[in-house]
Amino acid sequence: MQTIALTRSIKVSTLDTQATVAVARNRPEWLAVTQLAKDLGGELRPGNVARELLGGLPQEVGRLAMSRCVELGLLEWVERLEIARLSSLGQESLRLGQVFVAEERLWRFYYCNDPLVLPGLVHVEPVFGADAESARHQQREMRKARKSAADQGRLVPALLERAIGHPVLRLVDGEGAAAFVVKSLAKTGFERESASLDLRVHWDEANPKPSLRLEGKMLAPPNSEREEDVAELRVNGPLPLGAMSHFSFQDLWERLVGLGNGIGPEAVQQCSERAGRLMAPQEFQSCPVAARKQFCRDLAIPAVPGGQLNGLGHFDPTTLRQVELAPSSEQEASLWADWLLRESIDRYLTRADVEALAHSIRSRFEFHSPVLPTPGQLLADALQRPADPLSRRLLAAFDLGIWS
Amino acid sequence: MIAPLKLSRSVDNTITLPASWLRCGPTTPMDDGGALHGLLPAGPQRLLHARLLELIGEAKEVILLASFLIADEELATALDRAHVRGVRVYMLNASEQRLRSCPQEDDAFTARMVDDHKLLLDRLAGRVTLRSAEHFHAKFVVIDPQTPHAGGLLSTANFNRALHEGVELGVELGPDDSQALAGFFNHAFWGESEHELVEPGRLAAVEARPKPPTIPESLAMVGTMRATQGLRQEVLRLLDAAMEELLVSSYGLEAEHASIAALIAAARRGVRVTVLTRPRPAVKQICETLVAHGIRVVAHERLHAKAIWADGEGLVMTANLASQGLDVGFEAGIRLRGGQAAALETTLRSWCERFPWQFDARPSLQGEFSEICPADQSVRDGAHQIVEEVVQTLPPITAADALAMEGAKVPTLKSEFVGDKRGLPRRIRYDWEVRPPRLPQKARERKREQAVEKPGKDGAIITTIEKISYVPPVFECDGRAYVLLRNAEERSHARKLAAELEATVVVS
């Protein structure tokens, strides 16, 4: 089974700016109210909450709880303060097991410009651990302290603005679920330390779709609210397939093999079509010795330039393992078979042995009919070069009475 | 004074000798007769060695070389040159395991020779195709066997210093015989070899075994291999058919082998049989058996040739008269007829006359030989020089009386003497001294009494008894009387006095 493994490094930029971001939080109490609304099939009343979840506390407490859930977007009022129902966000929150809680404050945005990382926002992380008011104050103070225009910060990149409203998958300390939604952004912010992450494509021939992941480490903002006192954010999560979904495995494999053996993807495609399976055409002279014997090789693929694979961007050099090979032409097949025949003469052989060996070698060429030297021709060659090890194996049989 | 009397007497050495090798002549090379009808003796003239090198030098395509042991620098150089000019060289030799197990009493198989053999093989690795097996013992070379100018040489000598030091034989082969021998080689190479030299110092087991070619029928060449005992059959045929005379040369002789029984049977029916061998402890018993049946056994320290001449027919071969060779092994031989057989007869008769050692089961020292070696010892370490006489000096004898020295008792003279570093004597001469007896230290002089008349105080003559010494003086000790002889002039007085006093005449 063939496998494709591609990687490239991605530069991740950072920007600290004021923003409102809804962050998925673990709030089981509000999810309990939301779940009750779902269980009751539509209408949730304060009494239901007080009775089912609050152990018989007054209905007013249940109403307060419902009001908070409406504020969080989990419920919608059917009749204000009396009857509420499950919202679509509440439905999604139940699925994720988390509640999106909007926070306005100073955030650090981690983003990149890569065709396979869309919309380009990798992560957000709160800065300073302060509330929005104190953050704004701090930002004002910082601006005052700076004198040049550059110190006043830079405009927020357009790709961050395009990210507003799109749930972003969580790539830091976990994976899979939508982790945050940018609600609004300030106009400017301040650049911070950039980072480098690895984008990895892994595709087994048996899987219809590849795996696309981003991995690596980024510096966390100082004094983060994170409970752990860590300075690094560990990135390890999947990305949407994006442009990758336009490729089939065979298409991508043939393009890569074309780059690797220098023959071109069309020839690779023709070879595979004739074989009915993935197979690479191979010229004899450039084929490594072990591959000549096994009809199979690990094919080194050079760095893939950006425009080579439509829309996928550049990739680092890689290797395609165990690529099945076939001679690139009948002439190449004959050269290859001749080499195999001579290489197989590793013991003393009679004329009949040589004929059987030639037959066996021809049978290894599924799609070609190579021409091989006859035993007599091999013997004649051997008599010209008696000291050659191969010659000695044939000449021994000839000289010592068992050749024919 | 009385001088000691020196006496001497010789006796024949009557010691009983064990079965022994008796040297009847000097050990000399045996190749001074030169080559006769393609029969090449080994020796310092290097006839066999030179022809071997010539053949290798003449090869244009292929050299087939078989030898139990190979250790010859010139041969290695010749093979190198052959390889350089494109000749394919194939070799068969004994496995190292077999070489190491060979008896050390044989010079050719010393550990050093085996080491030289290994060094040579390492040197040739990559240039020759060499296979070995425990039972490979044949020695021959064949060149260009598939061509009309095929040639060869069958040798009883290993291709080492035996070529110019041993008593060996080689036979030049014509094209037909060479091609037949090549057939033996081919069969052994493909069908009977066990290991192949793949690089210096490394022999790999032979695994793939193509069907070996059939062993060719030949008028002259015979062989023993796993598939045939043609050589054994030919040896027995020759021995059984002999009616007048057999000359048989073999380094090894195995008592239980049918060929030995055939020799004895021939002797019993009146055939004159002479066996030529090497004087070794290993052949003692068989030699005793052979001579007991009237077979003459002669030997040479360097004999290694294997050949039979029987009433005009001849056979030169690589096998000893033993099962490991004639029955089991890879051995080859060539039947000789006409001029070649006559040449073999001439050679073997010459050897019989000139071989230095003759076996005698009950030798006598009165025979004509100069050295003797007990047959259970090697002639190198156990031979004794025969000398006409050795002198054994006996302890001195003290005569009973200084005036009766000739009558002293004669000592016991042993007539059996095993010999010593001076050799083994045919006669022993015993020398001894007779010495006069001496006066015992404790002896006191005995004086005789004599009446002496002297004038007294009053002038009157008085007679007194005085003690005076005898002349010569007399002593006594433990009740016995001794007359001390002080010089020759006192002999008669001493004799007289001793007789008078029943004393013994002694000296001081």
Give the pLDDT confidence of B318-361 residue by residue, as tens digits: 999 999 999 999 999 999 999 999 999 999 999 999 999 999 99
Q: Which of A399, A402, A403, A404 to mutate: most B Cβ within 10 Å?
A: A399
The domain defined by A27-96 folds into: Arc Repressor Mutant, subunit A (1.10.10)
A223-232, B384-393, B401-410: which has the minimum mean pLDDT?
A223-232
- Residue A404 has a pLDDT of 86
Give contacts of B86 with chain A, Cβ < 8 Å. 386-387
A89-98, A288-297, B7-16, B306-315: which has the minimum mean pLDDT?
A89-98
Reference B11, options B507, B315, B431; nearest CA is B431
- Between CA B219 and CA B455 the distance in angstroms is 132
- Residue A132 has a pLDDT of 57
Q: Which two tokens stand for residue A174?
A: 């976990």
Q: How many CB pairs under 8 A join A and B?
A: 40
Please name the helix (run of DSSP H) or strand (run of DSSP E) that holds residue A275, with its range, or none.
Answer: helix A265-275
Residue B246 has pLDDT above 60, yes or no: yes
Provide the shortest C-alpha distance from residue B424 to chain A (in Å): 59
Residue B250 has pLDDT above 80, yes or no: yes
- Between CA B379 and CA B371 the distance in angstroms is 10
Q: Which of A351, A383, A388, A400 to mutate: most B Cβ within 10 Å?
A: A400
Residue A236 has pLDDT above 80, yes or no: yes
pLDDT average, residue stretch B352-378: 96
pLDDT average, residue stretch A337-350: 95
- Residue A224 has a pLDDT of 47
Give contacts of B197 with chain A, Cβ < 8 Å. none
Give contacts of A393 with chain B, Cβ < 8 Å. none
Give the CB-side neighbour count of residue B42, counting CA atoms within 13 A: 25
Check CB contact under 8 Å for B61 and A399. Answer: yes
- Between CA A401 and CA A291 the distance in angstroms is 36
Residue A219 has pLDDT above 60, yes or no: yes
Residue B137 has pLDDT above 70, yes or no: yes
- Residue B153 has a pLDDT of 98
> Is the CA virtual torsion B69, B71, B77, B78 positive or negative?
negative
pLDDT tens digits, one per residue of A175-213: 455 578 898 999 999 999 899 999 999 999 999 999 999
pLDDT average, residue stretch B495-501: 94
Q: Whole-prediction pTM value? A: 0.72
- Residue A156 has a pLDDT of 92
pLDDT tens digits, one per residue of A115-161: 999 878 999 888 865 555 666 666 666 666 655 545 568 899 999 99
Q: Are B72 and B160 in contact (CB under 8 A)?
A: yes
What's the mean per-residue pLDDT of chain A? 89
Give contacts of B88 with chain A, Cβ < 8 Å. 386, 392, 395-396, 399
Confidence of residue A24 (pLDDT cuts 50, 70, 90): confident
- Between CA B137 and CA B157 the distance in angstroms is 10
- Residue B303 has a pLDDT of 97
Give contacts of B213 with chain A, Cβ < 8 Å. 400-402
Tell me phi and psi for residue A321, to 5 degrees. Answer: -85, 145
- 3-state DSSP helix/strand/coil percent for chain B, to nearest 5? 30, 35, 35
Nearest to A401 among B61, B87, B213 (CB): B213
Three-state DSSP class for residue A1: coil
pLDDT average, residue stretch A211-229: 78
Q: Is A395 on the interface with B (CB under 8 A)?
A: yes
Residue A23 has pLDDT above 90, yes or no: no
pLDDT average, residue stretch B236-248: 98
DSSP A304-364: BPTTTSTTT--B--EEEEEEEEEESSHHHHHHHHHHHHHHH--S---HHHHHHHHHHHHTT
Check CB contact under 8 Å for A400 and B210. Answer: no
Which residue of chain B has the CA closest to A395?
B88
- Between CA B110 and CA B100 the distance in angstroms is 8
Q: Is A397 on the interface with B (CB under 8 A)?
A: yes
The amino acid at residue B143 is I
- Residue B435 has a pLDDT of 95
Check CB contact under 8 Å for B208 and A350. Answer: no
- Residue A311 has a pLDDT of 83
Tokens 């008011």 -> residue: A133
DSSP A228-263: S--SEEEEEEE---GGGGG--HHHHHHHHHHHHHSS
Three-state DSSP class for residue B63: strand
What's the mean per-residue pLDDT of chain B? 93
For chain B, how long is the longest CA-to-CA vector? 146
- Residue B75 has a pLDDT of 95
CATH 1.10.10.10 residue window(s) in chain A: 27-96
pLDDT average, residue stretch B153-182: 96
pLDDT average, residue stretch B377-395: 95
pLDDT tens digits, one per residue of B79-116: 999 999 999 999 999 877 666 666 554 555 567 778 88
Give contacts of B90 with chain A, Cβ < 8 Å. 396, 399-400
Q: Are B213 and A396 in contact (CB under 8 A)?
A: no
Which residue of chain B has the CA closest to A399?
B62
- Between CA B29 and CA A328 the distance in angstroms is 74
pLDDT average, residue stretch B462-470: 91
Which residue of chain B has the CA closest to A402?
B213
Q: Which residues contact A243 (CB under 8 A, 6 or more apart)?
A: A115, A116, A310, A311, A312
Reference B68, options B102, B30, B39; nearest CA is B102
- Residue B459 has a pLDDT of 83
Residue A228 has pLDDT above 80, yes or no: no
DSSP B227-239: TEEHHHHHHHHHH
- Between CA B388 and CA B16 the distance in angstroms is 17
Which residue of chain A has the CA closest to B207?
A347
Q: Which two tokens stand for residue B153?
A: 């040489």
Q: Which residues contact A250 (CB under 8 A, 6 or more apart)?
A: A272, A278
Burial B414-432 (b: 16+ CB within 10 A, else e): eeebebeeebbbbbbbbeb
Residue B180 has pLDDT above 70, yes or no: yes
- Residue A264 has a pLDDT of 83
Q: Are B7 and B434 in contact (CB under 8 A)?
A: yes
Give contacts of A399 with chain B, Cβ < 8 Å. 61-62, 88, 90, 146
The amino acid at residue B428 is I
Which residue of chain A has the CA closest to B145?
A399
